[in-house]
A and B are shown apart, each in its own frame.
Chain A
Amino acid sequence: MTGARELFEWMVVARTLGTTLCTLNVRWFPAEGEEAVHVGSFVDLRSDDAAAPHYRDPFVVYLMRGAELWRLVAQVLGKSAGYNKGRSVGFNGPFHLGVVPWVAGDLGTTIGTATGAALAFKHQRSDRVCVCSFGDGTANRGDFHENINLAAVWRLPIVYVCQNNGWAISQRASSYLPAPVAARAASYGIPGRTVDGQDVEAVRAVVAEAVGRARRGEGPTLVDALTYRRRGHWAGHIVSDADRAGVVERADPIDVLRGRLLERGVTTEAELGQIHERVEAEVQAAVERATAAADVGDAELGLDDVFA
């Protein structure tokens, strides 16, 4: 089992990589401040489970499943060395690692395909599960309702995690969420859990319990992980202090775990500093390799690859 120090390292990877990607591509959707939800929701999945993370910089999820860092960076740069040969949005994941694909920007439809992964696992009588995360904006698509209802009726092995950062692009949650997301679970007859999304260990524990239910054939769970978007919707989107007025700022998830690790005496400031330095070097090496990779041309159009 992944220890707390590894959780810390994964969050540092997410932060360092995300910050770098934002400088490479102003259209990247940063997850700064939300790393604990990505890491805590997906870190304990088995390699044969399916992962359908929220589109907001989900690369740490792909890395935890074995993706190569430089190829993910290449994807953001639109290079053919990326996992989808330069054809798709940067946040689309490597399918061969059990990642439910992101092939369009129509929010909510991955809730459907992720639910289908769970349907396949049930049909195959396996104990595999799917974890699917999405934003609180996406939670208002009909697909949210349709799929959670369907998964509840069919008792599918899936965990739905709302990565609730309080924003839908420029809109504050008060303009689209009249009630807590977790409260909706009751209307589908499934458990709803609210968790501090800045506490990676708490997210992990709540999701692990839900995964256990799913594996035992007890059906879906809805988890509402309350988190905080530290930046804009995309890297170049500036949210002014006036816009943020009244928004409850939540603690930095990396600081939260750092303090806990030091308090427990399982690590030192020096060790944690080394993690930062090592990750920084890995990210820079990946950026250099990805930048040097060939750009796409007509030859990469894949005209004969529309059908399987």
Chain B
Amino acid sequence: MSIDAPVKAPPESRRLTHMEAVVEAIAVEMRRDERVFLIGQDIGPFGGSMQGARGLYEEFGPERVLEAPISESAMVGSAVGAALFACRPIVEVSFGEFLPAAMNQLINQAPNLHYMTGGAARVPVVIRTRVGDGPYGGHPQDYVSWFAHIPGLKVVVPATPADAKGLMIAAIRDDNPVLFVEPMSLSHARRGEVPSGGYVVAIGSASLARPGRDVTLVVWGSTLPLALQAAATLSREEVEVEVIDLRSLAPWDAPTVVDSVRRTRRLVIAHETWVTGSFGAEVAATVAGSSPRIELLAPIKRVGAAPIPIPSGPLRAHALPTSAQIAAAVRAALQD
């Protein structure tokens, strides 16, 4: 029995922002596992980009919160190497626009190491990054779909604070490289209930964000709130949309999507990134090719960013998908 001060039982859940939930997940795992440490820029007393590391330096100190030179390839590479030798690092690439600077490590190294060593090596590393439109307007390009193409790399994009915590803990505990993507428009947006302690969401499981019988609407990341808004609007038109939040792009929960479309026989896919070559194409192809064949009642509709580099300033709002566009796509899927 401890004779220390009485321990207050933690509350079952609290209302946290997306960002607070990610930071809490990292802190929970750093407390329970010495092998976990964080590498990144500005993660010291400054508290991290968008306050994404707030309080971690104060709690864990410079030996476990390592501020790095601006060298994404070395940051990711050294994290991958440390993971090979029994550490479990989290490396923060401040924004998704900087991922290309570490592409060799992300594509040629981390995903290949386990397989190419005949299964001898494990790479338990989390690469954390932020993408898309956000409150400060910077670094909006979203390249996440590229990474779902690569065997050996897991990709998760949580869209709620609870999923952000549960998927970050799952990513840290995973023995494989995981790209953990934070949609910036959600970082400081609405709070949500977040379970306390070591809450885990299984990587590769989609979430049924809203049940419905008429149309299946598949989304991930920042598009979830827009999809739910569209679904609420359409509900007033007596159209019930089933919203599925993929949460993980690799591996992804094809059975949940296919089962839903088997019932609704209509599919709309919406995401913040561009349509061409996006992960939405994989969702469409999987549904179209599923066996036994699904007799779709309408062509599959896809909604994404305008096919241009995402602009800065007020012009950006004209390039990104809106709730109204998503609702229009659903209506079109009902009319075809």
Contacts and interface: CB of A to CB of B under 8 A. Distances in A.
B116 A146 contact: no
A116 B116 contact: no
Given A112-B109, A147-B74, A306 B152 contact: yes
Interface residues on B, range: 35 or more
A143 B115 contact: no
A88 to B, nearest CB: 4
Interface string B130-156: 000000000000000000000110100
Nearest to B119: A305
Contacts of B154: 307
A298 B5 CA distance: 62
Nearest to A82: B118
Contacts of B123: 308
Interface stretch (B81-89, B238-246, B286-294, B306-314): B81-89
Contact of A116 (B35, B81, B112): B81
Contacts of B66: 154
A95 B121 contact: yes
Interface string A46-57: 000010000000
A95 B73 contact: no
Contacts of A307: 114, 152, 154, 175-176
A149 B71 contact: yes
Interface string A272-308: 0000000000000000000000000000001001111
Contacts of A101: 84, 113, 116-117, 121
Interface string B61-105: 001001011010111111111111111010000000000000011
A103 B78 contact: no
Given A103-B109, A104-B108, A150-B68, A87 B77 contact: no
Interface string A94-137: 11100011011010110111111111110110000000000000
A131 to B, nearest CB: 13
Contact of A123 (B87, B117, B118, B152): B87
B108 A116 contact: no
A103 B83 CA distance: 15
Interface string B256-286: 0000000000000000000000000000000
B37 interface: yes
Contacts of B74: 112, 115, 143, 146-147, 149-150
A150 B75 contact: yes
Contacts, number: 157
Interface in B210-257: none
Contact of B78 (A83, A88, A150): A150
Contact of A120 (B87, B120, B151): B87
B108 A103 contact: yes
A221 interface: no
Given A87-B115, A124-B86, A115 B176 contact: no
A108 B78 CA distance: 12
Nearest to B87: A120
Contact of A88 (B77, B83, B117, B176): B117
A100 B104 contact: no
B18 interface: no
A246 interface: no
Contacts of A85: 118-119
Contacts of B82: 116-117, 119-120, 123
A153 interface: yes
A162 to B, nearest CB: 17
A198 interface: no
A143 to B, nearest CB: 5
Nearest to B175: A308
A95 B117 contact: yes
A138 interface: no
Q: Which of A111, A120, A153, A154 has the most CB of B within 10 A?
A: A120
Contacts of A96: 120
A115 B78 contact: yes
Contacts of A114: 81
A117 B115 contact: no
A92 interface: yes
B85 A120 contact: yes
Contact of B73 (A50, A124, A146, A305): A146
Contacts of B108: 103-104, 106, 109
B151 A117 contact: no
A49 B75 CA distance: 21
B122 interface: yes
Contact of A103 (B35, B81, B112, B176): B112
A306 B66 CA distance: 30
A130 B323 CA distance: 53
A114 B76 CA distance: 12
B152 A146 contact: no
A142 interface: yes
A131 B67 CA distance: 24
Given A143-B73, A150-B68, A113 B119 contact: no
A112 B112 contact: no
A159 to B, nearest CB: 15
Interface string A29-53: 0000000000000000000001000
A84 interface: yes
Given A120-B87, A146-B74, A150-B71, A109 B114 contact: no
Given A101-B113, A113-B84, A123-B87, 4 more contacts: A87-B118, A101-B84, A101-B116, A104-B109
User: Which are the 9 A-B pairs with shortest beta-carbon distances?
Assistant: A116-B81, A112-B77, A146-B74, A113-B81, A120-B85, A146-B71, A104-B108, A103-B116, A85-B118
Interface of A: 50, 82-85, 87-88, 92, 94-96, 100-101, 103-104, 106, 108-109, 111-121, 123-124, 142-143, 146-147, 149-150, 153-154, 302, 305-308
5 contacts: A88-B118, A113-B77, A113-B81, A123-B35, A150-B74
